[in-house]
Amino acid sequence: MKNKILLIISALLLTVSCEEYLEEKPLDRLTSESFYSNDINLDQATYGIYSTVLYYWRDTRGAGNNIYTMSEVRSDDITLPTDGTQYSNLYIFESYNYNASHNNIRDLWSAMYQGISRANVLIERVTPIVPGTGVSETKKNTVLAEAFALRAYFYYQLVRYFGDVPLLTSSIKSKNDENIFPSREKVSKVYDQIIIDLKTAIGEGNDPNVKLPISTGSTNSARLSLGAVYGLIAEVYLTTKDFTNAALYAKKQLT
């Protein structure tokens, strides 16, 4: 009887051992767990966030169909030519005759939230990383600062175009996620989050090590620097009519 019991126990242990042995990590592809494992991949993830900015600030979508033109054409800073149809897609903005179904409006909304989603994923994945093999402390802190600053930038565009907007600071992990259909937050709360994110990016958040560099160097000249975000914070404070803080961060940007 004892021998039978021992055989059964041995068989169970062998089964467990085999199951653990067979639980191998895939080596033929990157996973969400393995991707954020070195400085190069952290840069690639950050470029993915920047690509949203690049897409909507350039005219790759058609003549004049970028976020700057859409904004300025509603003022007296830009006057559209009346001949031809090159800028026909923007005439409705000049005349304030547009709604949420317009391609530019819909695409702006989607693009900004795409950038926010990518920033949220990077922040969640990179924050718990312990610098060491593969990931350096400098790279970790820099890309985190960039992600916070870019998330703030996207919300700054959204709140000025749409007013109350959904405020997502965590990633949506599945179609059953409770954040899949978030309600809109008040403008004041969105601006509060923008300031929190921007201050985090300049080392004034919970972790002072998360801070943008003073200079990005010639090879990374298109990436955010400390001075750029000082300027953005000053602009945000001007927009919210907090002139004291606007002056404070404008001076930091100049020095």
Tokens of 155: 């919300």
Nearest Cα neighbor of 59 from 19, 92, 90, 100 is 90
Please give the average per-residue pLDDT across 174-184, as a whole number.
81
Q: What is the fold, at CATH topology level, of the domain defined by 35-254?
A: 1.25.40
State the pLDDT confidence band at 30, using cuts at 50, 70 and 90: low
Which of 14-18, 84-88, 160-164 is the least confident region? 14-18
Question: Exposed/middle/buried for 201, CB within 10 Å: 0-12, 13-18, 19+?
Answer: buried
Instruction: State residue 23's pLDDT score.
Output: 52
Instruction: State residue 20's pLDDT score.
Output: 46
pLDDT at 182 over 80: yes
State the pLDDT confidence band at 4, using cuts at 50, 70 and 90: low
Give residue-wise pLDDT tens across range 199-244. 999 999 999 999 999 988 888 888 999 999 999 999 999 999 999 9
Question: Exposed/middle/buried for 217, CB within 10 Å: 0-12, 13-18, 19+?
Answer: exposed
Instruction: State residue 28's pLDDT score.
Output: 46
pLDDT at 14 over 50: no
